[in-house]
Amino acid sequence: MAALNTYRDTPRLGSEHLMDYPVKAGVVCYQGALVGIQSGFLVPATAATGILIMGRCEQTLDNSTGIDGAIHGAVLTDYAFCWDNSTTAGDIITQANVGALCYAKDDHTVGVQSAGRSAAGRVVKVDNSGVWVISGLEYL
C-alpha cells in the first residue's frame, strides 16, 4: 500500500487509553494495582517474567473462582503512575534511572533489578511520593 497523502480517521481501541481485558482464572486484580497481560489474560504484576505490564487496574477484579476470561476489566494505560520504590539494596530506583526501564517487584512496587522480573515501564520521575512510571506497549 502507498503512504498516506491525506487525512485518515484511524480507528482506536478503548477510550482515553482505557482498555478492557479478560482476567486470568484464579487471580484478583485490585483497583489501583500495577497489572499486565500474561498468556492473553490480565494478571496483577508479580516478580515474574512473561508479563506484559500495561498500566493501572481501574476497579477490583475478582476472578479467584472463575475460568480464564470469565470477567473483564478496565486498565488505564499510557499514563505515568506513582508506584512504591523497592527498599532492597541494589534495587532502589534513583534520579539516575529516569528514562530507563524499571521492573515489577509486585503489584505496587518497582525496582531496577531485571532478573526474574517483567519490565514495568519507563521511569519518568522519582520523588518523595515514589517512582513515576509510564507503562504500555510503546514504553517497554
Is there a domain that residue 1 lies in?
no
**Is the model's pLDDT at 78 over the cut of 70?**
yes
Is there a domain that residue 4 lies in?
no
**Is the model's pLDDT at 70 over the cut of 90?**
yes
Contact 22, 69 (CB under 8 A): yes
Q: pLDDT (tens digit, 9 = 90+) per residue, 5-40?
A: 776 675 655 456 889 999 999 999 999 999 999 999
| Residues spanned by the domain of 113 | 80-139
Whole-angstrom distance, CA of residue 117 vs CA of residue 109: 12
Tell me the mean pLDDT in the region 112-138: 94
Same domain, 85 and 111: yes
Number of domains in the chain: 2
Same domain, 73 and 88: no
pTM: 0.87
Same domain, 92 and 71: no
Same domain, 96 and 61: no
